[in-house]
Amino acid sequence: MNRIVKRFCAAATLLGFGLHSALAGPAVITVQADQPGHKIPPTLWGIFFEDINLSADGGIYPERVRNRNFEDTAKPDHWTLLTNAQAKAEMSIDTEKPVSAKNPRCLKIVVTDPAGSRAGVVNGGFYGIAVEKGESFRLSLKARADGGFSGPLTVSLESSDGSIVAQEKISKLTTDWRNFAATLAAKTTDPKARLVISTTKPGTFWLDMVSLFPKQTWKNHGLRPDLMEKLAGLKPAFNRFPGGCWVEGDRMKEAYRWKQTIGDPSERRTQHNIWQYEATHGVGFHEYLVMCEDLGCEPLFVINCGMSHKENVPLEQMDEFVQDALDAIEYANGPVTSKWGAVRAQAGHPAPFGLKYMEIGNENGGPAYRERWALFHKAIKSRYPEIQLVANHWSGGYPTNPMPEIVDEHYYNNPEFFMAQAGRYDKYDRHGPKIYIGEYAVTSGAGLGNLRGAIGEAAFMTGMERNSDVVIMGSYAPLFCHANHKRWPINLINYDGARVFGIPSYYVQQMFSQNRGDVTLPITVDAPPTEAGPKGGAIGVGTWLTQAEFKDIKVTRGGEPLYSCDFANGTQGWKLLGNGDWQAQDGVLRQNSRSENVRAVAGDRKWTDYTYSLKARKLGGAEGFLILFRTQRDNEKSWWNLGGWGNRRHAIEMGGVIGQEVEGSIETGRWYDIRVELTGSHIKCYLDGKLIHDVTAPLIQSLYASASRDDKTGETILKVVNVAAAAQETEIKLNGVAKLASAQALVLTSESSTDENTLDNPTKVSPKSQKLATPTPSFQHSFPGNSLTVLRFKGRP
């Protein structure tokens, strides 16, 4: 273990339910600036790009036309007809004379009786085509016509009000496919423009591979500039790509196969994405490698290992998949004289990319994964011993035969969970595999991505940095999200066609990455604890894999009624969460689904010091009841879990902490009397009049910190996270420093822990620089509530 105070090791376990004392006075942080510890790997802070939430098509790949090759489905998705009372037209998908045998569909348009009016087709892009005045686009398409029609076709960019933004004409169509190209320069700015292809003459024509691509892209390599600048701002050391569940697919026919993503874009496979859209692979394996090169980061390619969500390739048929891995390495690194190195050179990149890392599968586990891990490991290490292989740490742990060099762990939870896990790696085996935390993020209890979630992640990241002798890589997930196609609750970078913003977590990632040290410095933190969960909140009921019913719900304070419900108005006034099946009848609220984590919440989130009573009856299923109290945020766990963990235990769960577990089960068909009494931080839980739990709310460490040294500048870098609501006065001691020459601070905080950034207010929560008066090596500093502070000191021993 590196030289870190043992207090961090105990943070997740000792500061739990039932702790009644708190540290008095100011906090103290002590850094041994003259006793450098282990080297911090330069790979520690990276990114993970998954094709999710329209992050490629509609995101970094700036193609404006959606379903440009008409391969999405058997219908012309995202294309509509342009007609009016005079002009008539029909459209359909046609495969009789394809441009490409791999992508045989095209769009057939039949125009009849235009009577001088125009008719044709319209594409609105990805929720509108964003254009800016003066911006130029390369228009290209393939077209043919029947013998009686030669055009012209008018191709125009039009504003949402119908006015012309840019326009060109295409003529001389023939019965054979021809390529047409033009430049469209926008005369106005409109985030919701559309592409219109029309004619005023009757006839039949066909379209394929209709593209509208901006001339200006990031480093002229075909990616959207503002989104890529956001990535560049993170200074990532590596990029894990392309997924994620996207690599696996729901079934093997939807698995990611890199050889189908290279070459002429018109020949690439259009593939159904598990995140509910079709992917063109405009960003294919080659483009990912170029992206990494342009970002100055190491590529980490995740390859499918013959496993999907619902089926696996038989072991005797795995040769093809193992060969895919070997060929991917040859494409990235092989000489131009090799088969796949020559294909890379033909794509415009004769120099090798220098791939060093490959991950075998994503979130795969069990015996099937262990068998496949051994196959890939043997084949790759035999031919490319220098490639570092990453194994999945999933169901059943990670494979050990052969032992991986690196294992990939994933964590998603609420802010308090990540705070409690800041000491997770303090006691990890230093002789086992290195750790890559490939996916981690607060995904509940943080709105759409608020300050509190970012602070939870920052606390966890101090533990990653302190333990970077074993944790060598980490990446937040997911990275990107189109505002109109959100398939994951919280995402780092959000955008529409014209705007972009990072949630507060983006700035946490940036602050850690842009303030990397070269070596760790020993640090101790002595600070008062703070409550893990909210001090007050609403009430509710819920189930987990169980059917149940509830009645006689009452909330009182000091014997006076605060709330009661007889369900005379059904579930009015209740917020129903999860995949439940609720019915309210005859004074009883019944939940008929056996889904996980089904809840109904009611009351005032400002309530404190109350008694909550009700009756509950299990109707069937695996467990018992969830009795919610002090509920502040949707999806947070603040409840009494009765008959949880397979109907074996009762426990209180708050702020990511499970406390005072006792053996117990819930019988089917029996009504139970349940009562929860809340007084300040004191919680009492009664079942049928018997006291089951008598605890105080769980406490967690209020300050989390890591320290390092920048060898180039000689600066000491101190990262401090205050997870408490109030500011924390702190004495900072920089031992081994005789005098400080300068000190500066970068602070991320906001007025409220629930503050978020938006497209309209993209930097509401963003870091602010502060130049500090040069202090002595021992000085006082106040860390704001819910804040991340990076302090940099220049001094001499």
What is the sign, positive or negative, of the torsion defined by CA atoms of 220, 224, 225, 228? negative
The letter for the amino acid at 553 is: I
40 secondary structure, DSSP code: P
CA distance 260 to 208: 19
Query: Are 213 and 280 a contacting pair, CB within 8 Å?
Result: no
Start-to-end CA span in the chain (Å): 26
Radius of gyration of the chain (CA): 30
φ, ψ of residue 392 to 5 degrees: the values are: -75, 135
Count the Cβ atoms, other than its own, within 10 Å of residue 478.
25
Q: Which residues of 166-205 are buried (b: 16+ CB within 10 A; e: fewer)?
A: bebebeebeeebeebeeebebbeebbbbbbbbbbeebbbb
Please tell me which residue in 50, 287, 359, 363 is annotated as part of the active site.
363
Phi first, then psi: give them for residue 386, nearest 5 degrees.
-80, -15
Please provide the size of the chain in residues: 797
* Cβ contact 700:419 at 8 Å: yes
Count of other CB atoms within 10 angstroms of residue 767: 21
Separation between Cα atoms, residue 384 and residue 602, nearest integer Å: 59
Return d(Cα 123, Cα 691) in angstroms, integer.
65
Q: How many other CB atoms are found less than 10 A from the CB of residue 47?
A: 27
Residue type, 483: A
Q: Determine the Cα–Cα distance for residues 297 and 290; give it in Å rounded to an integer.
A: 10
- C-alpha–C-alpha distance, residues 203 and 201, integer Å: 6
The whole-angstrom separation of Cα 73 and Cα 273 is 12
The reply to whether omega before 397 is within 30° of 0 (cis) is no
Among 322, 246, 233, residue whose Cα is nearest residue 288: 246
Asked whether the beta carbons of 165 and 155 are under 8 A apart, the reply is no
Q: 283-300 as b/e, with b when 16 or more CB fall inside 10 Å?
A: bbbbbbbbbbbbbebbbb
Contacts with 357 (C-beta within 8 Å, 6 or more apart), sequence order: 238, 298, 299, 300, 301, 387, 388, 389, 390, 406
Handedness of CA 65, 71, 76, 82 (dihedral sign): positive
d(CA 156, CA 123): 11
Contact 675, 553 (CB under 8 A): no
Over 610-627, what HEC string results?
CEEEEEEEEEEECCCEEE
* 439 given a catalytic annotation: no
User: What Å distances lie between residue 703 and 8, 359, 384, 524, 786, CA to CA?
Assistant: 10, 35, 45, 11, 10
202 vs 148: CA distance, rounded Å: 9
Q: How far apart are alpha carbons 325 and 59 in whole angstroms?
A: 27
Question: 418-436 b/e with 16+ CB inside 10 Å = b?
Answer: bbbbbbbbbebeeeebbbb
Pure H helices in 389-435: 415-420
Q: Which letter does DSSP use for residue 218 in this model?
A: G
* Coil, helix or strand at residue 663: strand
Q: Which residues are catalytic?
A: 363
